[in-house]
């Protein structure tokens, strides 16, 4: 079946440090891949997406590249800020794999950025 | 920017009681979803809804659950006889189309506490 595996948190970084949150997936079809972010007390917000192999999604300084050969979609940011503190969720939508497009999420990775 | 809104933000209910969680999706969206997140666990898909009928549901979505779109704007999740294990954060989401590449927009969630 389809699944998403994210690196375990929590991750604690100093401001301006480099961030990588690993995400790998298994899927039977041709999934689209997403990163969602959940700030404290808020809902899930779409951060970025990629819909086919080698696509790079980017937003607010975050990037992730859809790597079909390694079935990965790692999230990176060159210089994190305190305001990036949140929980990050990797997700896939495997419409072509028999699903109707519902999202399958990883467990989430909590990021804390210290000043 | 249009938002998905959910009410109430927090619902406390006695075990065995019925509860209705309400959502107002984005107005030009056609596909609607419910997810839940038990504390400390993954966000899990419950059900998707299109054209006034369920298009897909997970194993979690048993006979105790139902969804309805009673008018042109609201989308509700009903739990008939709540159990302790129904305590979770429930998220509503909507999208323009069900293709996997279309991002789903989430509300801020309803925290359901069963006593």
**Per-residue pLDDT reduced to its tens digit, B45-75:** 999 998 899 988 999 999 999 999 988 789 9
Tokens representing B37 are 């997140």
Task: Tell which B residues from 19 to 78 touch A, by Cβ distance under 8 Å.
Answer: 31, 33, 35, 41-45, 48, 55-56, 58
On chain A, the residues whose CB falls within 8 A of the CB of B45 are 102-104
Burial B44-75 (b: 16+ CB within 10 A, else e): bbbbbbbeeeebbbbebbeeebebebeeeeeb
A44, A87, A109: best to mutate for the B interface, most B CBs within 10 A: A44
Given a contact cutoff of 8 angstroms between Cβ atoms, the answer to whether B42 and B60 are in contact is no
Does A42 sit within 8 Å of B100, measured CB to CB?
A: no
Q: State residue B100's pLDDT score.
A: 59
Length in residues, chain A:
115
- A28 touching B, CB under 8 A? no
Does B45 sit within 8 Å of A101, measured CB to CB?
A: no
On chain A, the residues whose CB falls within 8 A of the CB of B41 are 107
Q: What is the pLDDT of residues B5-53, one digit of tens each?
A: 999 999 999 999 999 999 999 988 989 999 999 988 889 999 999 889 9
Q: Tens-of-pLDDT digits for all 115 residues of chain A?
A: 889 999 888 999 999 999 999 999 998 877 899 999 999 888 899 999 998 899 999 999 999 999 999 999 999 999 999 999 999 999 998 765 555 578 999 999 999 999 9
Give the span between the Cα atoms of A76 and A58, in whole angstroms.
Answer: 9
Give the span between the Cα atoms of B91 and B105, in whole angstroms.
Answer: 10
- Residue B113 CB contacts under 8 Å (≥ 6 apart), including other chains: B10, B11, B12, B13, B87
A43, A49, A89: best to mutate for the B interface, most B CBs within 10 A: A43
- B94 touching A, CB under 8 A? no
């Amino acid at each position: 079946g389809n699944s998403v595996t994210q690196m375990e948190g929590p991750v604690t970084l100093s401001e301006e440090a480099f961030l990588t949150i690993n995400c790998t997936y298994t899927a039977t079809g041709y999934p689209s891949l997403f990163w969602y972010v959940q700030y404290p007390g808020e809902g899930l917000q779409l951060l970025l997406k990629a819909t086919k192999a080698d696509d790079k999604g980017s937003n607010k300084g975050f990037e992730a590249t859809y790597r079909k050969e390694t079935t990965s979609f790692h999230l990176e940011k060159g210089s994190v800020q305190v305001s990036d503190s949140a929980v990050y969720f990797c997700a896939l939508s495997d419409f072509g794999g028999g699903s109707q497009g519902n999202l399958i999420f990883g467990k989430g990775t909590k990021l804390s950025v210290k000043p | 920017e249009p938002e998905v809104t959910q009410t109430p933000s927090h619902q406390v209910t006695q075990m065995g009681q019925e509860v209705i969680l309400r959502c107002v999706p984005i107005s030009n969206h056609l596909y609607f979803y419910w997810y839940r997140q038990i504390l400390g666990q993954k966000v899990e898909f419950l059900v998707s809804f299109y054209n006034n009928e369920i298009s897909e549901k997970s194993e979690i979505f048993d006979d105790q659950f139902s969804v309805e779109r009673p008018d042109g704007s609201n989308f509700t999740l009903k739990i008939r006889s709540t159990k302790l294990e129904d305590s979770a954060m429930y998220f509503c989401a909507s999208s323009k189309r069900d293709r996997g590449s279309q991002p789903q927009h989430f509300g801020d969630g309803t925290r359901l506490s069963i006593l």
